[in-house]
Amino acid sequence: MRFLVTGTAGFIGFHLARRLLAEGHDVTGFDAMTSYYDVRLKEARHAILERSERFTAHIGRLEDRDALDRAAEAARPDMLVHLAAQAGVRHSIDHPQTYVDANLVGSFNVLELARALKPRHLLLASTSSVYGANEAMPFREIDRADHPVSLYAATKKALEAMSHSYAHLFAVPTTCFRFFTVYGPWGRPDMALFKFVDAIRAGRPIDIYGEGRMQRDFTYVDDLVEAIVRLAHAVPERGCPVAAPEGVADTLSPVAPWRVVNIAGGEPVGLMPFVETIERCLGLPAIRNMLAMQPGDVVSTFADPRLLEALTGYRPATSVETGVEAFVRWYLDVYEPLRAAA
């Protein structure tokens, strides 16, 4: 099939595009190459994708509707996967306008594009951050998500709401997936694992927020991509809920071909055991700088993955030990030489 994927120079978009290319699909990538983090890392990801004749890259911002239209005209996609966004909870506190531009205006442009293209399936990246101040664990897709604690989370919740209206009004089959702390090779330098490895290798202290009490439902990137690929074929149809085990509620809308799905394994890991795993993989001790919670952060994220499993027969299961080891190998073998050559 033909895929148009936004954010192919980003962490998750790169991995998804590489998987789709390996399966023989045509992929058109759209990315702004913003300077939120080192553009050389983004360029290196795209360079790998461009080894395939089935990959075509378009550089542009989501806010630029003309650029997005040109990419879509070239792609003529069967599937539209929207992963591009301004990421980062903490960054949204100091730079809110970039989130409005990319995540609201840019996502509106993607929805307008879907309205015109009528793809077989529109797949949209949301986040576990939309659960906000919820305290009941695990997070279920049917739980209310009305109290975001960061602008980043609020923009993603807005994307979900906007996409539902488009699915209803224009019959665009749509699935929103909520990511839970994705990590792995080619990850983002602003994420905890990358920052921890970088600091430990350099002998610098690592900042541990929440005084080590935090826990996350870490999701290895290959598991995430597997789930997305499977969900691409689980096209929502109005009036056709999935057969799910007792106690699992489908989120299929009663008025639209639309649903939202958690992607995570449902196995939260404490921040301190996570740091200890990094230490073992590096063979180096971390200098811990224990700090209070950051504004916009939550103590715990923990997904209920049963709807994903009902829809796809799949549940992420890569252990933190395996995933961190893979990241450390990539960091030492690929990233450090890449950085040294710059």
State residue 296's pLDDT score: 66
pLDDT tens digits along 159-185: 999 999 999 999 999 999 999 999 999
Give 255-292 pLDDT, tens digit per residue.
999 999 999 999 999 999 999 999 999 999 999 999 88
* Domain 2-180+219-265+302-316 is found in CATH 3.40.50.720: yes
How confident is the model over 57-93, as pLDDT tens digits?
999 999 999 999 999 999 999 999 999 998 877 788 8
Q: Taking the alpha carbons of 228, 232, 234, 237 in that order, is the dihedral positive or negative?
A: positive
pTM of the model: 0.96
pLDDT digits (tens, 9 = 90+) for 184-211: 999 999 999 999 999 999 999 999 988 7
Cβ–Cβ contacts within 10 Å for residue 239, how many? 8
> Domain segments of the chain: what residues?
2-180+219-265+302-316
pLDDT at 133: 79
Q: How far is the C-alpha of 124 from the C-alpha of 103, rounded, in Å?
A: 11
For residue 121, pLDDT beyond 90: yes
- Active-site residue set: 152
> In whole angstroms, how far apart are CA 148 and each of 5, 131, 191?
27, 7, 20
Q: ∠ at Cα 90 (84, 93), nearest 5°?
A: 95
| CB-CB contact of 261 with 274 (8 Å) | no
The first and second tokens of residue 65, run together, are 């509707």
Are 133 and 146 contacting, i.e. CB atoms less than 8 angstroms apart? Answer: no
Inter-residue contact 144 to 134 (CB < 8 Å): yes
